[in-house]
């Protein structure tokens, strides 16, 4: 029997195989044995390009602003983004609108 690697999230040695995935009974983490487990999430734009902190992106769709009658228009340039985990994974400041959170699926890297 081959030795299974410890859980990349909690380092538990009690990992087990469940089909093609490895499972951790202590924290509930599931991962693929060949997957990159660097611990950092990977964010991609609408075209599949990898995003990084400090990138400049443009909006690819008119976005209604919650709690306002304003609309963020297609082609709006957003400079110096910051990536965060959560539902909306881009924190930024947009000239004329202020601080915002955007989803990476609605932007395109420049």
Q: Where are the domains of the chain?
A: 1-37, 56-109
pTM tops 0.75, yes or no? no
Could you tell me which CATH class the domain 1-37 is placed in? mainly beta
Give the number of other Cβ atoms within 10 Å of residue 85's Cβ: 8
Task: Specify the pLDDT at position 103.
Answer: 94
Task: Specify the pLDDT at position 19.
Answer: 85
Task: Specify the pLDDT at position 91.
Answer: 95
Domain covering 56-109 assigned CATH 2.30.30.40 in the classification: yes
Task: Specify the pLDDT at position 1.
Answer: 47
| Residues 27, 12 contacting (CB under 8 angstroms) | yes
- Rounded to 10 degrees, what is the CA torsion of 38, 39, 40, 41? 110
Low-confidence ranges of the chain (pLDDT < 70): 1-2, 35-40
Task: Specify the pLDDT at position 29.
Answer: 85
How many angstroms separate the CA atoms of 36 and 31, rounded? 9
Task: Specify the pLDDT at position 37.
Answer: 56
Identical fold between 1-37 and 56-109: no
């Amino acid at each position: 029997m081959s030795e299974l690697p410890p859980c990349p999230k909690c380092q538990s040695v009690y990992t087990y195989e469940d089909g093609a995935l490895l499972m951790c009974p202590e924290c509930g983490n599931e991962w693929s044995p060949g997957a990159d487990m660097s611990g950092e999430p990977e964010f991609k734009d609408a075209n599949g390009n990898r995003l990084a902190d400090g990138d400049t992106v443009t909006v690819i769709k008119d976005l209604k602003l919650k709690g306002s009658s304003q609309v963020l228009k297609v082609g709006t340039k957003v400079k110096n983004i910051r990536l965060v985990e959560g539902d909306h994974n881009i924190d930024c400041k947009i000239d004329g609108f202020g601080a915002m959170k955007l989803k990476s699926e609605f932007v395109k890297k420049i």
